Amino acid sequence: MREGIATRHSALQDAAGNEVASAFTPTTENAFDAAVQGAAADDSLATPAPSEWTTVVVRPRQTLSDIFAEEGLGFSDAMAIANLGGDASQLKTLRPGEKISLRKTDDDDLDELNYEIDDTHTLQVRRTDSGFDAVTIEAEIERRPTQLTGTITSSLFAAAQKAGLSNRLVMEMADIFGYDIDFALDLRDGDRFSVVYDQLYKDGKKLKDGDIVAAEFINQGHTYRAMRYVDADGNATYYTPDGNSLRKAFIRTPVAFTRISSGFTTGRLHPILNVIRAHKGVDYAAPIGTPVKATGDGIIEFAGVQHGYGNVVVIRHGPKYSTLYGHLSRFRKGLKVGARVRQGQVIAYVGMTGLATGPHLHYEFRINGVHQNPVTVALPRANPLPHSVVASWRAANADVLARLDAVSNSRTAMADPNAATVPPPALHD
C-alpha cells in the first residue's frame, strides 16, 4: 500500500542529518514555523488537478501491472490496488475485452480507476492520503416490459427470429414449457407463442434483454401459460397463473438426441439376438460421449454392468418411481451407489456397450416396478405455490397478464380474420 505524505518536523537538519535547531532563537523559530505553515497552505492550493479519463480494453494475457506500465503508472500502485480485497481482487485475473478507465493527476500519478465488473456493477478505486480506497457502485437499471408473438411455419427458431426474440430467450421459453412440450417432436406448423419479457436499460441505453416474465405457447390446440415467481431468496421459478408448477418431478428426455431409434413396444425383433422380445424402454440415438442427465431427483441404486445393457445406472426416485439408463460409455466421475443426484445433473455419457448395434441411450421409466412408456407416461407435478401467496402474486403481475392477453389476442385476430377484435387493456409500466 502506498505510504501517506511524510510528517513535517519543526527541527532543522544539516546536510549530515544533524539537528541545528540551536542556531535559531524562539522568535526566529516561530517565524520559521509560520513560513512552513504558509508554504504548506500554498502547497494545498497547488494540488495537481485530475486529467481526463483514459479507457483501456484488456488484451489476452494482459495484467493490471502491464496496463499500468503502458500508461506510465507505478508497479507498486498496481499491486496495492489488486490487494485491496473484495471486488478489487478480480483485477488479478483480467479477461480479454474487459474495460478499465484511468485518470491521472498532472504529476502523472494514478488518481482514480474504474473497472466494469459487469453491466450493473463498477469498481471505483480512488487515491487517498493513506493509499487507495475501493467501493463497488451498482447502477440503477430500468426494466421496460416488452411483448411479442409469433407463429411457427417451419421451425421454432425461424419463427422466433422473425418475431424478434433472441436465441437466449427462445431457449428460456423452451425450458419453461419443456415439461409439457417436446420441442423436438411435438411442434406443428401453426403453433403459436406469445412472450412478455424485460428489456434492461442503463442511463437511457439498452443493455440487453432480461428474463421472460410471462409466456403462452399454443401447441396442437393446447394452451400453456407461465408466469415468473421469485421467492424471498431470489430463486426464480415459473408457475401457471393459478399457481400450479410447470415443473414436473421428471423431465421427459434424459439426453439431447438425434432421433428415437427404437420405441416402447411389447414385441420387437431384437437386432442382435434375432428374436421377438418386448422393448420396455426408448432408445435415443446420439453420438458417443453425449451427456446423459438424471430425469428426476433421486438416489443411485445401481451403477455397473448389467447383462445386455452394458454399463447401466439405475436411480430410485422415492418408493414409487425408478429410472434406468443403459449402453453407457462411462459414468460421471465420482458417481457412487447411494449418492444423491438432482434432476438435470449429468450422471453418465452415451455409448454402445452391451448388446448395441450403434451409439444410443436405452432409457426405462418404472412405476411400482412396472415399465411405462417414457414418451407418453403422465409425469407427476412438483409442488404448487401456497394459496396464501397466489393472490398477491397475481395482483403484483396484473399488468404482465394484461400484456400477455393483449399480445395473444392480437395474434389470434391475425390468425382468424373473422374473429372479433378486442381492444387491448390499458397497460402501465
**In a 3-state reduction of DSSP, which class is residue 76?**
helix
- Tell me the pLDDT tens digit for each residue of 199-221: 999 888 888 899 999 999 999 99
Amino acid at 37: Q
The CB density around residue 287, as the number of other CB atoms within 10 Å, is 12
Question: What 8-state DSSP symbol labels residue 97?
Answer: T
Q: Is the pLDDT of residue 130 over 80?
A: yes
Gap between the terminal Cα atoms of the chain: 48
Q: What are the tens digits of pLDDT across the range 302-350?
A: 999 998 899 999 999 999 999 999 999 999 999 999 999 999 999 999 9
Q: C-alpha distances in angstroms, 359 versus 155, 288, 356, 362?
A: 27, 6, 7, 10
Burial class (CB in 10 A: 0-12, 13-18, 19+), 126: middle
Q: Using pLDDT thresholds of 50, 70 and 90, give the confidence band for residue 5.
A: very low
Q: What is the mean pLDDT of residues 105-114?
A: 89
Contact 321, 367 (CB under 8 A): yes
* Three-state DSSP class for residue 7: coil
* Percentage of residues in the chain having pLDDT higher than 90: 58
Query: pLDDT band at residue 16, thresholds of 50, 70 and 90?
Result: very low
Dist. CA 160–CA 215, nearest whole Å: 13
pLDDT of residue 91: 93
Phi first, then psi, for residue 414 (nearest 5°) are -70, -35
In whole angstroms, what is the distance from residue 150 CA to residue 419 CA? 18
Residues in CB range of 309: below 8 A, 6 or more apart = 324, 326, 327, 354, 355, 362
Q: Which residues contact 346 (CB under 8 A, 6 or more apart)?
A: 291, 292, 293, 332
Burial (0-12, 13-18, 19+ Cβ within 10 Å), 296: buried
DSSP E strands: which ranges in 243-383?
259-262, 265-269, 276-279, 282-285, 291-293, 298-305, 311-317, 321-331, 340-341, 346-350, 360-367, 370-372
From 33-47, 123-137, 299-313, 408-422, the region with the lowest mean pLDDT? 33-47
pLDDT of residue 393: 94
168-200 pLDDT, tens per residue? 999 999 989 988 888 888 899 999 999 999 999
Phi, psi of 29 (to 5 degrees): -65, -40
Q: What is the pLDDT of residue 185?
A: 82
The whole-number pLDDT of residue 411 equals 63
Q: What are phi and psi of 6, to 5 degrees?
A: -65, 145
Beta bridge partners of residue 315, listed in sequence order: 300, 323
The pLDDT tens digits for 359-414 are: 999 999 999 999 999 988 988 888 899 988 999 999 999 999 999 999 988 766 55
pLDDT (mean) for 103-126: 90
E strand intervals along 182-308: 192-202, 205-219, 222-230, 236-239, 259-262, 265-269, 276-279, 282-285, 291-293, 298-305
Q: What is the mean pLDDT of residues 13-25?
A: 40
What is the pTM for the complete model shown?
0.56
What is the chain's Cα-based Rg? 33
Number of Cα atoms under 13 Å in the Cβ half of residue 418: 0
Q: How many helices (H) and strands (E) does the chain have?
A: 7, 22
Separation of alpha carbons 229 and 219, rounded Å: 23
